[in-house]
Structures are given as C-alpha cells and as structure tokens.
Structure 1
Amino acid sequence: MQVKDIMTPNATTIQTGASLTRAAYLMRDANIGFIPVVDGKRLVGIITDRDIVIRAVADNRPATEKTVGDFMSDRPVCCQEDDDVNDVVRKMEKYRVRRLPVIDDNHTIVGVVALGDIAQRMSHAVSGELLSTVSRHGDLVA
C-alpha cells in the first residue's frame, strides 16, 4: 500500500510570512495542531500548536507581531505519495512524529499522512506499535 492510498489530500497550509495568530486561527477552525509551512507551494517547514505555545507564548512574544517563519521547524520530515506505508511507519517511529507532510518531486505539498490514517488502514499491531513509539518520552533517535 502506498501513502497516496491513505493520506489526507489538500492539506491546510500557511505561508512563512503569515502571523502566528493566523496559524492559531487556522488550527482552531480546522481542529488541527499541525500546519505545513510553504513558500509559494514549496514545503519549507512545519508549525504546530506546541511551537506557538512553547516558542512564542511562553517566551512572552506577541503572536500578532511574529510570523510563522520565525517559529516554524524548518527541517520537516516528510514522505512522498508513492512511498510504501510500511516505510513511512518506520520513518514516523524513527523521528517520533504523528504526522508527515506528503510531497511530490517538486517539493510541493500534496497531502498529509497521520497516525490516524495508519490506524484506520493498517493492523492494530502496526498502529499500536507506532503510537507507543511516538508517544515515548526522552531523546529522539535520529
């Protein structure tokens, strides 16, 4: 099975120059905690609800004056739509992430694959192990 068979297409994205407040509104309205950050259509980063809280709010930085580009993670782990789902599961376990942006050959985002997508389509053993691994506290193994 390939990623394109289980991913969520047409992911919500945000431009690097958008405000953190705009990112928070998008997350709230779409009930998501993760938004791929793009420059034009090209994936350049990820912003999460945790990034906004830990990197901006907790440091008392005004969300209306700062941009997504100031606080995004700029080395997103991603996959391609023709990747095998089992390989993607291993990648998610390695980097302990619950969601991956899905890109094409031009680094344009075409969707998102999440733990929930895997849980719905893969065995309970595979999805349970993935959940256990990404939920573990401690240092990442890169």
Structure 2
Amino acid sequence: MPISECCNIGVVCCEANASIPQIAQLMRKHHVGDVVVIRHEGSARIPVGIVTDRDIVIETVAEQIDMDLLTAGDIMSSPLITVHENESFAESLRLMRHHRIRRLPIVDEKGVLYGIVTADDISHLLTLELSMLTTTMTEQPAAERQARR
C-alpha cells in the first residue's frame, strides 16, 4: 500500500518567518502537534522543515527565551526527512525508525508537499487492521459451524 493512501492531506503549514506564538496558535486551532515549514515556489508548497510542540518547549520555554524573538526558521528541524507519495507503507515506517522521527511529510515527484503521516496515524491504522483481523478470527468458527449444518 502506498503511504499516500493513509496520510493526512490537511497539513498545517507556516513560513520560516512565522513567530513561535503564531505556530503555537496554529497547533491549538488545528489540534496538531506539528507545523510543516514551507517555502513557496509559485503556488507550490515546498517543505523545508518542521516545528513540533516539543521543539517549542525544549528550545524556548525550557530555556526561558522570549518566544517573540524566535521564528520557525530558528527552531525547525532541518533538513527535513520526507517520503515520496508512492513509497510503500513499510518503507515509510523504515524511514521513521531509521531517523527516529514520529512525523513524516509526504511529497510528490516535484518535491511539493502532498501530506503527512505520523506515528499516531500509523498506530491508529494498525489498531483498526488488527481489530478487523481479531473479529474475523473470532467469527470464523461460528461461520464454519453455520455452513456445515
């Protein structure tokens, strides 16, 4: 299965000059823990970094730095690890594990932002898949008994 089939295409984004309070407001408004930092090439959104709620805490709050003094560009994780939209689910997991990241932006063949997949998204998907498998396994004996009557 390509990763594009299970990603979130509603990616919350900002530019590198966005202030930390602006990023925090985006996170709160959209109920997310990350904002992808982009640059524009015409109408295309090219991902260049990512800011997480943890970045804000570690880089500003814990250091007691005035958040108005820093921008997304100052604290974003970069270079950004991305995956192509047609890459497999398994390869995407491998990349996340290898780079020890919980969020993986997805790009098209031109490097334009397509979506994002998070460890939470994957955990939710796998939980649903396992639930369906468990249901099948528990219902199969009853279905077999019914068919053999």
**TM-score computed with the length of structure 1 as normaliser:** 0.80
State the AA in 1 paired with 2:10: N
Distance in 2, matches of 1:53 and 1:69, equals: 16
Report the structure number with the largest CA radius of gyration.
2
How far the C-alpha of 1:49 sits from its partner, in A, is: 0.9
Partner of 1:82: 86
1:57-96 equivalences under 5 Å are 57-96=61-100
1:97 aligns with 2:101: yes
2:143 corresponds to: none
Give CA-to-partner distance per residue, 1:83-102, whole Å, 9 cap, x none.
00011111111122221011
Deviations 1:6-48 (A, max 9, x none): 0011211111011010001111121111111101221110111
Which secondary structure state, in structure 2, belongs to the residue aligned with residue 45 of structure 1? strand
Question: SS of the counterpart of 2:117?
Answer: strand
- Write the mapping of 1:1-142 to structure 2, written as runs, cut at 5 A: 1-40=1-40, 41-122=45-126
Partner SS state of residue 106, structure 1: coil
Mapped to 2, the partners of 1:26 and 1:42 lie a distance apart of 19
Q: In 2 relative to 1, CA 81–19 (structure 1 residues): closer, same or farther, beyond 3 Å?
A: same
- Runs (4+) off by over 3 Å: 120-124
Stretches of structure 1 lacking an aligned partner (at least 5 in a row): 125-142
**Greater helix content:** 2
Letter in 2 for 1:29: K
Q: Deviations over 1:102-140 (max 9, x none)?
A: 11122221110112332343455xxxxxxxxxxxxxxxx
List alignment gaps of at least 5 residues for structure 2: 131-149
Partner amino acid, structure 2, of 1:24: A
Q: In percent, how many aligned pairs have the same letter? A: 31
